[in-house]
Amino acid sequence: MPKRVLQGVVVSDKGEKTIVVKVERRFTHPVMKKTVRRSKNYHAHDEANAAKVGQTVFIEECRPFSKTKTWKLVEGASEVAASA
């Protein structure tokens, strides 16, 4: 089964080898027919502590690293985000 990859913005890099990424999704409300924005924070593993606050990064589903951390930073995403 393929692993999910999400794109989001780093909102915190305070943890050791951990970043918090805010992922926003948009959908049409079933009754109101308006576009609704919902966001969710994901804890992701950042082995090299490369990502900084405000960068746009890609995170990938992986094995659990801890109780809350089941995503990891995609390799090479920090270089893409830094140049953008």
User: If DSSP codes are grouped into helix, strand and coil, which group holds residue 77?
Assistant: helix
Q: Output the pLDDT for position 80.
A: 54
Query: Per the domain annotation, does 79 fall within a domain?
Result: no
Instruction: Quote the DSSP letter at residue 48.
Output: T
Query: Per the domain annotation, does 45 fall within a domain?
Result: yes
Query: Per the domain annotation, does 83 fall within a domain?
Result: no
Q: Is the pLDDT of residue 84 over 60?
A: no
Q: 60 is in which domain, residue-wise?
A: 5-74
> How many domains does the chain divide into?
1
Query: Per the domain annotation, does 11 fall within a domain?
Result: yes
Distance (Å, rounded) from C-alpha 26 to C-alpha 51?
A: 25
Q: Output the pLDDT for position 76.
A: 61
Say how far residue 24 (Cα) sits from the centre of its chain: 9
Identify the CATH number of the domain in which residue 25 sits.
2.40.50.140
Structure tokens at 48: 């090299």
Query: Per the domain annotation, does 58 fall within a domain?
Result: yes
Comparing CA positions, the residue from 28, 20, 32 lying closest to residue 57 is 20
54, 84, 23, 6: CA torsion to nearest 10: -140
Condensed to tens digits (0 to 9), the pLDDT of residues 3-62 reads: 999 999 999 999 999 999 999 999 999 999 999 999 999 999 999 999 999 999 999 999
Q: If you average pLDDT over residues 61-75, what whole number do you get?
A: 95
